[in-house]
Amino acid sequence: MRDTWARIVYGITGFAAFIGVLFSSWITVSNSPQEIADEGSVPAAAVHASPEVFDLLVVRGLNTFVYFTIASNITVAVVCIILMTNPHKRGKVFDVFRVFSLVAIIITGIVYNAILRAEADPVGFSAFNTNIVHVFVPIMAVVGWLFFGPRIKFAWKTVWACAGIGLIWLVFTFIRGAFINWYPYPFLNVDYLGYPKAIGACVGILVIAILLACGILALDKKLPGEKPWLNKA
């Protein structure tokens, strides 16, 4: 019965994240080049990209996947759909992405609702989708982990691997932003903040990510569920 409920929760979470990503992609592609140029690097004092940069549909589409929200939802979707098929799935690579999915979606929920929501003004369908990827999926992902796991042994290599994935996203975002003069979030906006402040903000986020990964793995030892590494002791 526990596995049945686990599959249901993982399935709901995974498909909600997947649908949220699809809707986000459609919304982004539907925006005009001017809207794309204006929506990323807030505040208004920032130097924005020229709308011409986003004339190509594929470039506008790629913007969707620059947002950390989308990266975290994609990871949650893949991990949870795998867990829906096998709630006891384990493996060195899978464990890393399982922990990263939790770290990333928790950061997504906290940063958006505590910081970015005040600056965002979604309406209609966009507001509905925003709540899917920033509220519903983060809550469901955490609920699924708390109740069903799977439990993962604490290992520093898992923690550093999670931080490494986040670092890759940051480096890619900075490099792409330098070419097109567009950044998805205000705390990454080098044009407005300068590199020292932007990098400082990123270091702070990475520290939070490392602490979250440590907390998740530490709690896994205490939360209910199978702990194969203890059974081997």
Mean pLDDT, the chain, integer: 86
pLDDT in tens, 100-142: 999 999 999 998 888 777 776 667 778 888 899 999 999 999 9
- Listed residue (91, 133, 75, 83) closest to 109, CA to CA: 133
51 vs 14, 36, 67, 174, CA distance in Å? 34, 7, 18, 19
Cβ atoms 171, 202 nearer than 8 A = no
> Who has greater pLDDT, 165 or 35?
165
Given a contact cutoff of 8 angstroms between Cβ atoms, the answer to whether 129 and 192 are in contact is no
pLDDT tens readout for residues 12-41:
999 999 999 998 888 877 777 777 777 665
Model pTM score: 0.89
Q: Where does the pLDDT of residue 50 fall: very low under 50, low under 70, confident under 90, or very high at 90 and above?
A: low
**Structure-model confidence comparison of residues 126 and 216, the more confident one:** 216
- DSSP string covering 174-203, please? HHHHHHHT--SSGGG-HHHH-HHHHHHHHH
- Tokens linked to 187: 């705390």
pLDDT at 233: 46
Residue 162's nearest CA partner among 215, 200, 113 is: 215
Q: Residue 185 above 80 pLDDT?
A: yes
Q: Count of domains in the chain?
A: 1
Whether the bond between 224 and the residue before it is cis, its omega within 30 degrees of 0, is no
Domain containing 222 equals 2-231
How far does Cα 34 stand from its chain's mean position?
A: 26
Q: Evaluate whether 162 touches 209 at the Cβ level (below 8 Å).
A: yes
Residue 44 has a pLDDT of: 47
pLDDT bin (cut points 50, 70, 90) of residue 45 is very low
